[in-house]
Amino acid sequence: MKLVGISGSLAGWKTNVLVHEFLSAAKEFDEKIETELIDLRDYDIEFVDGSPLAYYNADTFKVVNKIISADFLVIGSPIYQASISGALKNLLDHLPIDAFKGKVTGMVTTAGSASHFLVSEYQLKPILSYFKGLVPTINVFSHDDSFNEVNEIIDPNVSDRIQKLAEEMINLQKGLHDKK
């Protein structure tokens, strides 16, 4: 099974760290899982204008196809102005309506304060459900106090939630895979 993590931030490192830690936790839980991190800062994803995917640049085409070919995904976003990042929303706008059908799609988010802890539930979860993703019961939210000055996770509750989300997602995806 292939697990793809998306870091939907173009600035800062906390979202990248959170997604990377999740992918590592998933590997620890099941070493057979193949993981890949898509960090949006590494790609030139074109702005959606309604054209067919084949009309966009190679990076856009490549990233969309990596997402579509994944068995399951974890989506990471910083919270800006009480919403997901524009870069992540733009990427999601490139996907077909059934992009996540039969796939567990987890959420990890970072924010400057604890006030934004419900953004995952009210902004990102409906988008993942629209794409027919199976959203786990657990998600991971962290804020600036969860990290030290070199962007390492120092909050044991965040680390624990990462482990629990990885376990839940893998078990759900295996259950879906076994039904095929």
The ranges assigned to domains in the chain are 2-179
Cβ contact 93:106 at 8 Å: no
How many helical (H) and strand (E) elements, i.e. helices and strands, does the chain have? 6, 5
| pLDDT at site 85 | 94
Query: What does the block give as tokens for 86?
Result: 């524009």
Per DSSP, the three-state class of 82 is coil
| Low-confidence residues of the chain: pLDDT under 50 | none
| pLDDT at site 88 | 97
Rounded distance between C-alpha atoms, residue 126 and residue 64, angstroms: 19
| pLDDT at site 179 | 67
| pLDDT at site 180 | 59
∠ at Cα 72 (55, 99), nearest 5°? 35
Rounded distance between C-alpha atoms, residue 96 and residue 37, angstroms: 21
Per DSSP, the three-state class of 148 is coil
Cβ contact 10:41 at 8 Å: yes
Rounded distance between C-alpha atoms, residue 136 and residue 153, angstroms: 22
The neighbour count for residue 115, using CB atoms within 10 Å, is 11
For residue 45, the 8-state DSSP code is P
Fold of 2-179: Rossmann fold (3.40.50)
- pTM over 0.85? The answer is yes
